Amino acid sequence: MTSRREELAANLAEVLEAVDPYSPTLIVVTKTYPLSDVEILNQLGANNFGENRSDEGFAKSQAIKAQSKSSNWHYQGEIQSKKIKEILSWADCIHSLDDLRHAEKIDRVLQENSSSIKAFLQLSLDGDSSRGGLIESDLFPAAEALNKYRSIDLLGLMCVPPVDMEPALAYAQIASLHQRFSAEFPDSKSLSAGMSGDYMIALDHGATHIRVGSKILGERDYD
Ligand SMILES: *Cc1c(COP(=O)(O)O)cnc(C)c1O
């Protein structure tokens, strides 16, 4: 019987080998999986972890950070105003920023603590608000407006393609928008895109950060 450690090691190695030519930042999405899995992955060398729920991210990050090895924590879930303080207490990077009111509150909290955070603006290709993100026409003005929030370091764009959209089509749109965005905002050239089902396509279209969960940890029962 293979142990959980062997299983995670094999899955992680497979993903790392596939993405190696692109040298992206691999964020291992550990949502819904236990702390013991994060510990194993951290021991195996993974040090970027993604979570969708603030309470879960808080608990896991506290435990891992207490165990010495370096780790970076990424919040990629929907942002609720009342959770912002908590998110900022553990996350090193927010991938799901899509509302300037949230940006204002984030900046206020961080300024009070003389702190800062990395962030991606989330792009929506179809405007479906249930998955979050800003449509293209709102994206550029939002990035412009973020300039005034000194504590927010805008790394670039994040996108989750609509499930019912042909990946090739979705990523062609993302790549073209990413190019224009990078030209307009040269300090924010990163692209967080690509999950278990599409990370190779995402890398072929310029992704610098990929967020991979089930391919490494196994299928989740729920999100
Ligand atoms: C769950 C999730 C992922 C990881 O998805 P997998 O298909 O398990 O790789 C990546 N990004 C976001 C925003 C997610 O919610």
Give the mean model confidence (pLDDT) for residues 105-133: 95
Task: Answer whether residue 209 shows pLDDT above 70.
Answer: yes
Which is the closest atom of ligand 1 to the Cα of 223?
Answer: 1
Q: 54-68, pLDDT tens digit by residue? A: 999 999 999 999 997
Long-range Cβ contact pairs of 178-181 (< 8 A, separation 24 or more): 178/205, 178/206, 179/206, 181/139, 181/140, 181/143, 181/156, 181/157
Ligand 1 pocket (Cβ < 6 Å) reads: 29, 31, 52, 76, 160, 195-197, 211-215, 223
In the CATH hierarchy, which fold is given to the domain comprising 4-217? TIM Barrel (3.20.20)
Band of pLDDT at residue 1, cut at 50, 70 and 90: confident
Does residue 222 carry a pLDDT above 90?
A: no
Q: Are 191 and 174 in contact (CB under 8 A)?
A: yes
Q: Which pLDDT tens digit goes with each residue over 150-208?
A: 999 999 999 999 999 999 999 999 999 999 999 999 999 999 999 999 999 999 999 99
DSSP three-state, residue 175: helix
Q: Which residues pair with 73 in a beta bridge?
A: 49
Which pLDDT score, from 0 to 100, does residue 131 have? Answer: 85
Q: Using an 8 Å Cβ cutoff, are 180 and 146 in contact?
A: no
The burial of 80, by beta-carbon neighbours within 10 Å (0-12 exposed, 13-18 middle, 19 or more buried), is given as: exposed
Q: Cβ contacts of residue 1 below 8 Å, gap of 6+?
A: none
Domain boundary assignment for the chain: 4-217
Quick check: 161 and 171 in contact, CB under 8 A?
Answer: yes
Task: Note the pLDDT of residue 130.
Answer: 82
Cβ pair 176, 159 in contact under 8 A: no
3-state secondary structure of 158: strand
In a mutational test of the pocket of ligand 1, which residue from 41, 195, 215 has the highest number of ligand atoms less than 8 Å from its CB? 195
What pLDDT was estimated at residue 70?
A: 87
- State what percent of residues in the chain have pLDDT above 90: 94
